[in-house]
Amino acid sequence: MSMRNLLGHGNTVSMHQKEMKWLPCLYVRKKGGVFKCRVHDDSQGTFQGNQLFPHLTQTMWLTEAICKALEEGEGLAVGKLGTCEAECLFTALHGHPWNGPLRTQMTVNAGLWPPTNPTLAAWSTHMRREVLPYMDHVVQWYNAAHEVPVLETWAPQAVQHTTLDDLDPWNGPWTAAIPSNTPVAIVTPFATSIAAQLAQPTLPTHVPWSSPPPRFFTVRTGCSPALDVEGAAPMWPAAILVGGWKAAVDHCVAATLAGGARVAIVGCGALSLPIVAALKRAGVVAIHLGGTHQLLFGIRGRRWNGHPHIGEWMRESCWRDPVPEETPALARKVEGACYWH
């Protein structure tokens, strides 16, 4: 049984208490960023009524869901909606037409192509039919007015998290739950840069991994074709550029499965959740981190220069900039080249 089913049907699951003792816990509902539970302890009696335990963070539930899926050989789908992706789906939910600025954002920032309204319609239909109904954990993090109606309508089964911190393994060490030598695919436009990091004697120390670590391999994606310039080598193969965003999703899923991945860490814009949902159906634990995925492996990005912790980490010698061939000519169109340095 998946963690989603356990939560959704109020079955007994384990929970770590302050006193470092595992107790069974009945999930009741989510409220205000913490979980409301009725806790049963046979040795001390039963707590009466529902009690709020602020220390029971959503990060712990996510980590436990990953552990359970790995132990039971099941798939799992975890991720978030990007800013313009949420707006695109909110627009579709209300039957409104997509405007030019949103279409540009979905193409340039989110990497969807070709840049037409039929593309946005096809992607939105795919998301509501083939992606969101399969999500187990989704972070609602930026614009609740757009995200909440979309998730409650098309992903009511998913556990909703209210902060991006829940996905960051330096806040809740879900990465350490991945057993040694487990095949882990990194689906990324920074495949060469990350492979160079993985070739180093040790990984950056800000992310906890098992020892020895999982067996990583990379699956190369492209960035938005809108970031290419004429005469430069495109980041996506020519056949995929012709086939459009769905061909890119199918390519990434096939390459991940061909490598025998048990876990996939995905950072590929608007293609990420379609990749995650397809991998879950194939029995893979798939986690969409977005831009944060590059930080797991010590790849710098301008977005985090001013972050109080990440900015310090990025100054360490074990971190590196993305290699030039993974920096599109028009990278500055994406928030001032926020994923590059």
Per-residue pLDDT tens over the stretch 204-253: 889 999 999 999 999 999 999 999 988 788 889 999 999 999 999 999 99
On the question of pLDDT at 101 being above 90, the answer is yes
Q: Are residues 118 and 260 in the same domain?
A: yes
Q: Do residue 43 and residue 113 come from a single domain? A: no
What share of the chain has pLDDT > 90, as a percent?
Answer: 69
- Model-level pTM? 0.84
Residues 108-164 have pLDDT tens digits of 999 999 999 999 999 999 999 999 999 999 998 888 889 999 999 999 999 988 888
**Residue 201: inside a domain:** yes
Q: Does 313 map to a domain?
A: yes
Residues 80 and 125 in one domain: yes
Which DSSP string do the residues of 12-26 spell out, in sequence order? EEEEE-TTS-EEEEE
Q: Are residues 283 and 235 in the same domain?
A: yes
* Within a domain: 341: no
Instruction: Please tell me the predicted confidence (pLDDT) of residue 234.
Output: 84
pLDDT (tens digit per residue) in 288-321: 999 999 999 999 999 999 999 999 999 999 999 9
Residue at 291: amino acid letter? G
Q: Give the contacts of 328 (CB within 8 A, at least 6 positions apart).
A: 223, 224, 227, 228, 235
| Residues of the domain holding 201 | 76-333
Q: Total domain count for the chain?
A: 2
Shared-domain flag, residues 20 and 135: no
Report d(CA 219, CA 189) in Å as an integer. Answer: 8
Query: Does residue 67 belong to any structural domain of this protein?
Result: no
Q: What single-letter DSSP state applies at residue 114?
A: S
Rounded Cα–Cα distance for residues 276 and 60 (Å): 21
Q: Are residues 234 and 324 in the same domain?
A: yes
Q: What are the φ and ψ backbone dihedral angles of 175, each rounded to 5 degrees?
A: -65, -35
pLDDT at 58: 65
Is residue 185 located within the same domain as residue 305?
A: yes
User: Is 174 in the same domain as 238?
Assistant: yes
Residues 52 and 188 in one domain: no
188 and 325, same domain (yes or no): yes
Task: State the pLDDT at residue 172.
Answer: 76
CA distance 207 to 133: 30
- Rounded to the nearest 5 percent, the helix, strand and coil shares of the chain are 40, 20, 40
Answer yes or no: is pLDDT of 42 > 70: no
pLDDT greater than 80 at residue 40:
no
Q: Are residues 135 and 52 in the same domain?
A: no
Are 175 and 238 part of one and the same domain?
yes
Q: What is the mean pLDDT of residues 22-31?
A: 31
Sorting pLDDT into bands at 50, 70 and 90, what band is 23? Answer: very low
Q: Is residue 63 in some structural domain?
A: no
Helix, coil or strand: residue 246: helix
Q: What is the DSSP letter of 299?
A: B
Instruction: Judge contact between 203 and 213, C-beta under 8 A.
Output: yes
